[in-house]
Amino acid sequence: MSFTGFRSYFCDEQRSHCQLWAINVCRLIEANVTSLIINSEEMSDIRHALLRRDPLSAAKEVLYHLDISLGSALQSSTGPTPGLEKSMVELVEEFIFHVPKDRNIQPKRMSCVQELQLLEIMCSYFQEQSKDAIRQIIFSALFSLQGNKADESRMAMLGKLVSMAIAVCRVPILECAAVWLQRTHSAWCVRLAQVLMDDYCTLVPCAISTLQNICSASPRFCCQLITAVTALYDFSSDELTPPPALLEMLVGWITEDPRLLLLTFINTPLNSSLPLGCLEITPLLGLLRWCVKAPLAYQRCRKPALTNGHGESEKGTASEELYSKLHLSVLQVFLMLQVHLTEQNLIGRLAVLPVESVATLVEEVSRLCEKLTPFPAANHIQLALDRLAQALQVAMATGALLCAREDLRALCSRLPHNNLLQLVMSGPVVQPPPHSGPFQPNMYPHIHPGRPSSLSPHSPHPVLSPHPALSPHRPLTAHTAHPSLSPHAFHPAAMAFPYRPIR
């Protein structure tokens, strides 16, 4: 399939250029389909031949080779991921991403139309490639970042490809992109999100509806996109404030189906090893950040232009409403998360919201509040703090956030006064006989370290389970080796929290 699939794309205009060579290669390939592993000599031959061709046909040729070599490798080998040969990677980089290999040979760049043609070919190819594995492999062979010079053009091409796939609704590509977003460092993910947002939110006026329709087609991609987008727009400046259209779309998505947010989390096998620095597994924290910071940030924006017209304030109230909705959705998702965690017996073991990230958020909020204090923004600060407090409470209650109340107090000490937050920090009124009380689901078992853990009915583990190694989240321990690199490295399960000895 893969062979014919690709071949059909480049047989139309091929012959005029280098008919003989193409025929030869085809023959060669046909003769050797199963065990085609092109060695380096052959590679250099191919390369020389490609150098003579026009960039588009050369790129197609390379894709063809890639398809064949990977497809055949996948068939032949039984290993999970067949390795990509170095020479093949070089060919891809040279002829698709146009990274000069030789100093004296300046590769011919494709024109934009040719590039579009190539993208179209890729789109169709991925669409028609029926085998998920091959598709995945080829996608990652093309677009997984290598940390070299080609990454820039790789990103550019990927951006265009994904953008185009959104436009023409190529679900397979979007799925691949979702995976890519999951496995790539967040910086690159943010860049891809930026490209997509530019394309669909800012550049083409009404294209956002196209994007909106994607949700039904590829919710996974949307989930990842939300995560990336929340990482992108962090309210640090005007440019990095989410556009209203985007906000509206996201709220629409989430309210329609809140489970969207947990899609990646649920679908990700717990033992899959995620690379360092990749996006968070749920967009929850990002969305929470939006909800909490939005009142402050909009207030900050409005501050210099207090006397502006009404349009501004109307827009503000409209987005205020959206943020409220969003906040509600986030809280609901926490509740859903609790159900899921309970089902999976993960309560208290897996911190969906890393404490460190929450600490960063609190830090940012307190800084914003300080900046705003000279201005009459008490309402907005209180709103932000209310949301923060609610979210913290719900998160702790649902087990998404693993945090002791003392730590919380220390964390929130710099924030301005807020009644609700005060309540959350001081905790509920302690019921007199803890041991005799019935099960109370809202007692946050794991945030009272002094309490015997036996009170927690959720804990399926033995009370004195001595070691986290026994927990089913085995792979998480791997992160402890790199505590400073990834947010996930600070998983509470791996940390010496006060509540741990009593488990």
Interface residues toward other proteins, by CB under 8 A: 111-113, 115-117, 119-120, 123, 159-161, 163-164, 167-170, 198-200, 202-207, 209-210
CA distance 485 to 490: 9
CA distance 99 to 310: 52
In sequence order, the β-bridge partners of residue 278 are: 185
Give the containing element (helix H, strand E) for 471: none
23 neighbors 16 (Cβ within 8 angstroms): no
| Residue closest to 199 by CA, chosen among 233, 160, 142, 229 | 160
Question: C-beta of 144: minimal distance to other proteins in Å?
Answer: 20
| Residue closest to 123 by CA, chosen among 72, 183, 192, 177 | 177
In sequence order, what DSSP letters do the residues of 58-108 get, joined into one string?
HHHHHHHHHHHHHHHHHHH--SSSPPPPHHHHHHHHHHTS----SSS--PP
Question: C-beta of 200: minimal distance to other proteins in Å?
Answer: 6
Nearer to other proteins, 55 or 348 (CB): 55
Question: C-beta of 500: minimal distance to other proteins in Å?
Answer: 50
Look at residue 437 and give its three-state secondary structure.
coil
Nearer to other proteins, 318 or 464 (CB): 318
Neighbours of 470 (CB within 10 A): 10
Nearer to other proteins, 163 or 264 (CB): 163
Nearer to other proteins, 120 or 364 (CB): 120
In sequence order, the β-bridge partners of residue 54 are: none
Angstrom CA distances, 131 to 1, 69, 137, 143, stand at: 9, 15, 10, 18
Question: C-beta of 151: minimal distance to other proteins in Å?
Answer: 19
Nearer to other proteins, 113 or 469 (CB): 113
79 CB burial (10 A radius; 0-12, 13-18, 19+): exposed
Question: C-beta of 353: minimal distance to other proteins in Å?
Answer: 34
Question: C-beta of 446: minimal distance to other proteins in Å?
Answer: 47
Nearer to other proteins, 33 or 168 (CB): 168
Give the tokens for residue 53: 């061709």
Question: C-beta of 159: minimal distance to other proteins in Å?
Answer: 8
Nearer to other proteins, 159 or 295 (CB): 159
Q: Name the packing angle between helices 378-398 and 310-344 (round to 10°).
A: 10
Question: C-beta of 371: minimal distance to other proteins in Å?
Answer: 22
Nearer to other proteins, 112 or 496 (CB): 112
